Amino acid sequence: MRINPKATDKIATGIFYLVALGFIILLVFFVGYIIYQGRLRLNLNFITSAPVFMKAGGGIAPQLFNSVYLVFLSMLITVPIGLSAGIYLAEYAKQNRFTNAIRFCIEALASLPSIVIGLFGLLVFVTMTGWGYTLMSGALAMSILNLPVITRVSEDSLRGVSNSYKEASLALGATHWQTIYKLIIPVALPGLITGIVMTAGRAFGEAAALLYTAGMSSPKLDFTNWNPLAYSSPLNPFRPAETLAVYIWKVNSEGLAPDARQIADGSAAILIITVFVFNIGSRFFGRLIGNKLSGK
Amino acid sequence: MSKKSKIYNFKHEYLGRSVVTFFGLLLILITIIMVLFLASKGMATFLDNHVPLTQFLFSTDWHPERGIAEGGPVVGVLIFIVGSVLISGLALLISTPFSVALAIFMTEISPKLGKKIFQPVIEIFVGIPSVVYGWVGLTVLVPFVRNHFGGLGFSMLAGSLVLAVMIFPTIATVSADSLSIITEDYKEASYALGATRWHTIRKIIFPCALPGILTGVVLGLARAFGEALAVQMVIGNSIRIPGSILDSTINLTSIITMDMGNTAMGTPWNNALWSMALLLLLISFLFILIIHRIGRKGNVSA
């Protein structure tokens, strides 16, 4: 007997719907589980107090601060380089060997495992510079990690700008460069911001590249001392700086606190919430700036 | 050209142009420096410690700390290579069917839901940090495997399942991209011949998108191969080749992550870790080459 093709089609469609539904259930379960498990730690005390050694009740203030500061510093380094390379690729690059070489390098860098980039950081930014494990070494390693992403995001958003704008500007006698920075970049800004904030959000959870660059410890931070040269100052970039993601990993593998499980649960919940905030925030900011520029 | 307009041109064109070109060049320099440094460090095992390449790659003897009296340190990393291959291979087997099905759903069955719901869903999955994947694997998956399948729970299966979730966004996104560019003509021709949607998907759409889907699969494999912490947290890290998927095992990234911190630079043990890092770098370049090959083949047949 031949199977009815219409029935097969219906069954296949049903299976596709099931698979798709499965992914949504997986996400809801995943995020729900993390936030539910971490719910007891989602309070100000956990976020604003320092970890205590060998005792329960420690917080994650230094780790959270380190994560934010490290991502901020690395973006300060990556964005100018990545944006410039993106401008070059979108506007100036000709079909030649040089351009191909850049594209190949972007692809190669993007495909490298982050642990390998971390080891390069260990070699160059930790050992060769003589800095040891520092926040700056971590920021530099993370910059390399994000460089291909930012370059791609920049190139894509710049390419998205309509040619008619560009031609109008050139026809008015502006040079190519003037057109780029007076017109193309502002028009592409919403897309650029969205891409950059999103990349920052992902960088926030990165750990493998930071284990051996920013280190797995954090000195006691004095949150009243904002002199960047003081060792205990949170702003000093030349001190070891364990980030939140690294802390989750370390707490799990060493487990020196009796409430390691709860600390990791709470930290994971905060990481997930941060990812959400960055994800939604990136769209919101992009739209806000887009509206402002177009005069809405 | 007058002097004034030369200065004008310099300020408003050549300066900016040179700066952005320089940063393009910088990207190339960073890549080259990175490869050179990792290569020189990774070669120490072979040049300084005189470990034969074949022994390094094909021996399962891993005694990096053994004293001279017992025959000196031996660094064969086959166990780690096999671990990496098995774990990421199994992850790929689990993840690919579901990811491709999701991609087909997003492009062929319900593009509206695809764009409105599944695009953001995938983005959230991409954004979840790998330690969080590892942590959920450790607290949910490991006990689950222990209670329902037996063994310790720390297992190749747990590692592969965690990786399967982590790589699905890559496979699904790249597949969806290649599915969405298939021209409507093909589909309409197929429908006009009386084929059902499933028939069209199976006989027309899937074969047309195959090169793109394969690219996604290789990219997913590359990601699985290089993932460190999430896997390390759930596979148990016992140095042996697993006898079954319920056995604990170890892979390249895990041994590097765990041992890099407690070995002194320059020792054969430490050098072997750097050689493994170099191996990871070479493998990820190999994946790129494979993707280019697939891309070229795809273009020829299209």
Question: What are A233-288's pLDDT values in tens digits?
Answer: 888 899 999 999 999 998 877 766 778 888 899 999 999 998 888 888 888 888 88
Instruction: Indicate which of A30, A64, A116 best probes the interface with B, i.e. most B CBs within 10 Å of its own CB.
Output: A116
Average pLDDT, chain A: 89
Tokens encoding A18: 């099931």
Measure in Å the smallest separation between the Cα of A47 and chain B Cα atoms.
18
Residue A113 · residue A208 · CB < 8 Å = yes
| B138-169 residue pLDDT tens | 999 999 999 999 888 999 999 999 999 999 99
Find how far residue B183's CA is from the centre of its chain: 30
Say yes or no for a CB contact (<8 Å) between A84 and B134.
Answer: no
Tokens 């919940």 correspond to what residue? A269
Which stretches does DSSP call E strand in chain A? none
Q: Which CATH entry fits the domain spanning B78-301: 2.40.100.10, 3.30.70.20, 1.10.3720.10, 3.40.50.300? A: 1.10.3720.10
- CA–CA separation, B244 vs A118, rounded Å? 32
Residue B301 binned pLDDT confidence (cut-offs 50, 70, 90)? very low
Q: CB-CB: which of B21, B109, B261 is closest to A13?
A: B109
Q: Distance between CA A271 and CA B252 in Å, rounded?
A: 27
Minimal CA separation from B298 to chain A, in Å: 19
Cβ contact B109–A24 (<8 Å): no
User: Which of A278, A281, A270, A280 has its CA nearest to residue A31?
Assistant: A270
Q: Is A29 on the interface with B (CB under 8 A)?
A: no
Would you say the C-alpha torsion B56, B61, B67, B70 has a positive or negative sign? negative
Identify the bridge partners of residue B75 per DSSP, sorted by sequence position.
B62
**List of chain A residues whose C-beta atoms are within 8 Å of the C-beta of residue B287:** 111
* Residue showing tokens 């990207």: B27
Amino acid occupying residue A50: A
For A88, which residue in chain B has the nearest alpha carbon?
B20
- Cα(B260)–Cα(B73) distance, integer angstroms: 17
Say if B201 is an interface residue toward chain A (CB within 8 Å): yes
> What does the pLDDT read at residue B130?
93
Cα distance between residue B169 and residue B192, in whole Å: 34
Asked whether residue A155 carries a pLDDT value surpassing 90, the answer given is yes
pTM score: 0.92
Lowest mean pLDDT among A36-50, A122-136, B112-126: A36-50
Q: How many CB pairs under 8 A join A and B?
A: 239
B70 Cα to chain A: minimum distance (Å): 31
Residue ranges of A 161-200 with Cβ closer than 8 A to chain B:
175-178, 180-181, 198
Give the domains, in start order, of chain A with CATH numbers. Answer: 61-293 (1.10.3720.10)
Residue ranges per domain, chain B?
Answer: 1-42, 78-301
In B97-156, the residues whose Cβ lies within 8 Å of chain A are 98, 101-102, 104-106, 109-110, 113, 117-118, 121, 123-132, 134-136, 138-140
A38 touches chain B (CB under 8 A): no
Cβ separation B41–A123 shorter than 8 A: yes
Distance of CA A83 to the CA centre of its chain: 16
pLDDT at B183: 85
Residues A261-272: b if buried by 16+ CB within 10 A, e if exposed: bbbbbbbbbbbb
Q: What is the pLDDT of residues B21-43, one digit of tens each?
A: 999 999 999 999 999 999 999 99
Min Cα distance A84 → chain B (Å) is: 5
Cα–Cα distance for residue pair A244/A117, rounded to 1 Å: 19
pLDDT tier at B302, thresholds 50, 70, 90? very low
> B residues 168-197 near A, CB within 8 Å?
168, 196-197
Quote the Cα angle for A65-A38-B133, to 5°: 80
> Quick check: A201 and B27 CB within 8 A?
no
Burial class for B215, CB neighbours closer than 10 Å (0-12, 13-18, 19+): buried
- Tell me what the mean pLDDT of segment B182-199 comes to: 90
- pLDDT digits over A167-213, tens only? 999 999 889 999 998 999 999 998 899 899 989 988 999 999 999 99
Sign, CA torsion A271/B164/B79/B274: negative
Q: How far apart are CA A176 and CA A184, in angstroms?
A: 10
CA distance B172 to chain A (A): 11
User: Mapping DSSP to helix (H, G, I), strand (E, B) and coil, where does residue A59 land?
Assistant: coil
Neighbours of B148 (CB within 10 A): 8
- Residue B174 and residue B212 in contact, taking contact as beta carbons nearer than 8 Å: yes
